[in-house]
Amino acid sequence: MKSRICELLEIEYPIFQGAMARISDASLASAVSEAGGLGIIAGGTAPVDYVRTEVRKAKELTKKPFGVNIMLLSENADEIAKMVCEEGVKVVTTGAGAPGKYMEMWKSHGIKVIPVVPSVAIAKRMVRSGADAVIAEGTESGGHVGELTTMVLVPQVVDAVEVPVIAAGGIADGRGIAAAFMLGADAIQVGTRFLSAHECTVHQNYKQKVLNAKDIDTVVTGRPTGHPVRVLKNKLSRQFTELEAKAAPLEEFETLGIGALAKAVVEGDINYGSIMAGQIAAIVKKEQSCKEIITEMFAEAEQLLSKNWNR
Ligand code: TUI
């Protein structure tokens, strides 16, 4: 299942590993790239030196291309934006904002720029400012989400732009890949399923919570802040929901959110930590290597797409 994205980025399989703040490090990204996909290191809100070290580690672990995601709400975004140029990173994806002000610098370093977009208008704007492709991310995703579902967002973005479109949100098996291709996508981005990868260094309690998840176990919290985040339900998400119900001041949301992701990812606190995961968590049932995940997903997709659909 080659597509123009494979040629553009010199990868074997048209799959990106979604950047997950505090989780997607050199270990996960290099394993995905080694397996033929595009591994992506998450900048998140981390200090630039931490991200630079992960980039250097990934360069040791794989000679294949990998990317860095820049979370544009981060105070360190400017520094990470420069660092990727210095380190010769080949691909940058962006999230939670518009990367226009970095575009010229990245282009002059030969970096392929692929922003995440939650709507057609933002997709068109990103392409006008020089994006090489866009990731159309549906609200099924984990973490910071938009409003539209993958099913409605992807075909509309495909119709609106000429550049390749990567579908994200709710994709964790070959059925999801096949569906995304039917919607016109050139590639897919997968986050949640990679949480269960052997090479994913997230705390085992976080992994187990994903493996135990049922269909209705995620919830979007923090809408009043303007940065809604999808997480697995727990004591912390219930506290957020209570704040929303009583229309608490925004400072109370901020206080509750501080350090919550690290609590889950590093300490394994599944009660009061923020366990970001997508709605598709429920179909993630086993721990596997990145290579097994990718080859299994594409074998399934290829079988589906070659099926005789006359019923
Ligand atoms: O960025 C994500 N997912 C994330 S970021 C993150 S860390 C975080 N922590 C606390 C609060 C907020 C974030 C966890 N998960 N996905 C990509 C994404 N980008 N989703 C939505 C957008 C987006 C939204 C608006 C992209 C562009 C955009 O444009 C706004 C504009 O100004 O044009």
Atom of ligand 1 nearest to the CA of 125: 33
Testing ligand 1's pocket by substitution, the residue of 144, 240, 254, 274 carrying the most ligand atoms inside 8 A of its CB is 144
Ligand 1 and 114: CB distance under 6 A: no
Q: What is the structure's pLDDT at 30? A: 98
Ligand 1 and 122: CB distance under 6 A: yes
Contact 135, 117 (CB under 8 A): yes
Q: Which backbone phi and psi does 264 adopt, to 5 degrees?
A: -80, -45
Span 223-237, pLDDT tens digits: 999 999 999 999 999
Span 9-31, pLDDT tens digits: 999 999 999 999 999 999 999 99
Ligand 1 and 21: CB distance under 6 A: yes
**What span, in angstroms and rounded, lies between the C-alpha atoms of 206 and 217?**
14
**If pLDDT is split at 50, 70 and 90, which confidence band does 168 have?**
very high
Ligand 1 and 262: CB distance under 6 A: no
**What rounded mean pLDDT belongs to the chain?**
97
3-state SS string over the chain?
CCCHHHHHHCCCCCEEECCCCCCCCHHHHHHHHHCCCEEEEECCCCCHHHHHHHHHHHHHHCCCCEEEEEECCCCCHHHHHHHHHHCCCCEEEEECCCCHHHHHHHHHCCCEEEEEECCHHHHHHHHHCCCCCEEEECCCCCEECCCCCHHHHHHHHHHHCCCCEEEECCCCCHHHHHHHHHCCCCEEEECHHHHHECCCCCCHHHHHHHHCCCCCCEEEECHHHCCCEEEECCHHHHHHHHHHHCCCCHHHHHHHHCCHHHHHHCCCCCCCCCCECCHHHHHCCCCECHHHHHHHHHHHHHHHHCCCCCC
Sorted by where each begins, the domain ranges of the chain are: 4-202+286-304, 214-276
- Taking residues 206-218, report their average pLDDT: 98
Residue 244 scores a pLDDT above 80: yes
What top-level class would CATH report for the domain 4-202+286-304? alpha beta
- Taking residues 41-60, report their average pLDDT: 97
Q: What is the structure's pLDDT at 308? A: 82
**If pLDDT is split at 50, 70 and 90, which confidence band does 2 have?**
confident
Q: What is the structure's pLDDT at 191? A: 98
Residue 72 scores a pLDDT above 80: yes
Span 247-264, pLDDT tens digits: 999 999 988 888 999 999
Ligand 1 and 23: CB distance under 6 A: no
Q: What is the structure's pLDDT at 22? A: 96
Q: What is the structure's pLDDT at 11? A: 98
Q: What is the structure's pLDDT at 309? A: 81
Span 102-141, pLDDT tens digits: 999 999 999 999 999 999 999 999 999 999 999 999 999 9
Ligand 1 and 96: CB distance under 6 A: yes
Angle, helices 290-305 vs 26-34, to 10°: value is 40
Residue 239 scores a pLDDT above 90: yes
- Residue 156, token pair as written in the block: 């509309």
- Taking residues 278-289, report their average pLDDT: 98
Q: What is the structure's pLDDT at 310? A: 77
Contact 268, 184 (CB under 8 A): no
**What span, in angstroms and rounded, lies between the C-alpha atoms of 47 and 154?**
33
Q: What is the structure's pLDDT at 258? A: 83
Distance between Cα 300 and ligand 1 center (Å): 30
